[in-house]
Amino acid sequence: MIDELEPPAGRADPETEQMPGPAEEPPENVTTTPLTAAQVVAQTSAAVDASTPLSHATEHTLAVAEQRTVRKNLPRPASTRVMVVANQKGGVGKTTTAVNVAAALAQHGLKVLIVDLDPQGNASTALSIEHTEGTPGAYNVLVESTPMADVVVECPQVPGLYVVPATIDLAGAEIELVSLVARETRLRKSLDAYLTAEEAADARYDYVFIDCPPSLGLLTVNALAAGREMLIPIQCEYYALEGLSQLLRTIQQIKEHLNPALGVGAIILTMFDARTRLAAGVADEVRSHFGEQVLASAIPRSVRISEAPSYGQTVLTYDPGSVGALAYLEAAAELTYQGGKSR
């Protein structure tokens, strides 16, 4: 059962909840503005009653303006970071996290690739990328050894964000891969060749996000073999931690047999509803297990986040001043500082 807590005064709507700022100090080589977007919103909200339309509009305008001024401030990693967004549990926010974190990084001057590895093609939909059956994409890369460069397309709304689309053809790939040589490492081979060529052409990618389907089949194994770090979304719900141990065991097996470089990079709490004790309890439990690996910026449950894909957009472009957009922006920034610190 979910125990409702009294919402803080003036915060009855989850859309007005404020997220915490980044946990880390930015590295020295980064030019920063004094306040982050979320901090500006938090200060504005403290000064005015956020429940009125006027104050909401003020909040929104300030947040958008602040986002514009902090753009291009995020630091580049020392080398391309390849992050696998995986959790075999369905509907926990893998795709939403992949596209929004990727868009936030690209909007701030970084070059980012999303590999859509889910036959549902949700990441491709959210980024307005053509992915009807037969469109060249991840299927061709995995099964037909098509060079990745031949299938990559740029996201129309977010310059600097590139996508390997997924089509329904991928649904058959799980079976077709079984009989192919080096079936677990086909994505790694293709991705590594593409990233090396881009770097040689002075067009190095900063981040790659691989959006996995909700299973631990050959598609996810290919992603785990290709990545260096995991980005694991955990939904703040009762069953959240069930299945996590299975995921961690799979990661351990992949480390031992296929990819010693793989590690749990970051865990992100999604669909966090600050009004419920359950969400706070799940968040506490995850933080006590995984400590600093859990990003301080939890993503709130937000209507804007769930609406954005139906317009073929990320929440960063759909409603840049919304709490959902700001939370993903904070999470993306935190990831870059975390990477800068740990690498």
**Minimum distance, C-beta of residue 16 to Mg ion, in the bound complex (Å):** 27
Among 301, 320, 322, 333, binds ligand ATP (CB under 6 A): 301
| φ and ψ at residue 224, rounded to 5 degrees | -65, -30
Q: Determine the residue with CB nearest Mg ion.
A: 95
118 binds ligand ATP (CB under 6 A): yes
The partner in contact with residue 270, picked from ligand ATP, Mg ion, none with C-beta cut-offs of 5 to 8 angstroms by kind, is: ligand ATP
92 binds, among ligand ATP, Mg ion, none (CB under 5 to 8 A by kind): ligand ATP
Site of tokens 């870059």: 336
How many residues bind Mg ion (CB under 5 A)? The answer is 3
Kindly identify the residues of this chain, within the stretch 91-120, that bind Mg ion according to CB under 5 A: 94-95
Contact code string over 253-292 relative to ligand ATP, x by CB under 6 A: -----------------xx---------------------
Subset of 184-213 contacting ligand ATP (CB under 6 A): none
Bridge pairing between strands 229-235 and 81-85: parallel
Compute the least distance from the CB of residue 26 to Mg ion, in Å.
Answer: 31
Contact letters for ligand ATP, residues 69-108 (x by CB under 6 A)? ---------------------xxxxxxx------------
Cβ closest to ligand ATP, residue 75 vs residue 121: 121
Stretch that binds ligand ATP, among 40-48, 52-60, 181-189, 303-311 (CB under 6 A): 303-311
Task: Tell me how crowded residue 122 is: count the other CB atoms within 10 A of its CB.
Answer: 20
Q: Which residues contact 173 (CB under 8 A, 6 or more apart)?
A: 119, 138, 139, 142, 143, 218, 219
DSSP of 122-184, one letter per residue?
HHHHHTT----TT-SSHHHHHHH---GGGT-EE-SSSTTEEEE---TTHHHHHHHHHTSTTTT
Binding partner selected for residue 67 from ligand ATP, Mg ion, none, CB under the kind-specific 5 to 8 Å limit: none
Task: Closer to ligand ATP by CB, 324 or 339: give it.
Answer: 324
CB atoms within 10 A of CB 36: 22
- Residue 322 as a binder of ligand ATP (CB under 6 A): the answer is no
**Measured between alpha carbons, how far is residue 156 from residues 36, 73, 125, 160, 251 in Å?**
27, 22, 12, 10, 34
What letter represents residue 202's amino acid? D
- Signed CA dihedral, 101, 107, 111, 117: sign only: positive
- Smallest distance, ligand ATP to C-beta of residue 212, A: 8
Selection from ligand ATP, Mg ion, none that 119 binds (CB < 5 to 8 A by kind) is none
Q: Is the CB of residue 283 less than 8 Å from the CB of residue 275?
A: no
Among residues 209, 177, 181, 205, the alpha carbon closest in space to that of 193 is found at: 205
Does residue 243 contact residue 89 with C-beta atoms inside 8 Å?
yes
In the complex with Mg ion, which residue's Cβ is closer, 10 or 217? 217
Residue 318 or 337 with smaller CB distance to ligand ATP: 318
CB of 98 to Mg ion, least distance (A): 8
Question: What is d(CA 246, CA 257) in angstroms, rounded to the nearest whole number?
Answer: 17
CB of 302 to ligand ATP, least distance (A): 4
- Please provide the DSSP assignment of 254-307 as one string: HHHHT-TT-EEEEEEEESB-TTBHHHHHHHHHHHHHHGGGB-S-PPBP-HHHHH
Query: What's the rounded Cα separation, in Å, for the pair 341 and 295?
Result: 14
Shorter beta-carbon distance to Mg ion: residue 122 or 157: 122
If one asks whether residue 166 binds ligand ATP (CB under 6 A), the answer comes out as: no
Number of residues that bind ligand ATP (CB under 6 A): 19
Residues at the interface with Mg ion (CB under 5 A):
94-95, 122
**Residues at the site binding ligand ATP, with contacts judged by CB under 6 A:** 90-96, 118, 122, 214, 270-271, 299, 301-302, 305-306, 309, 324
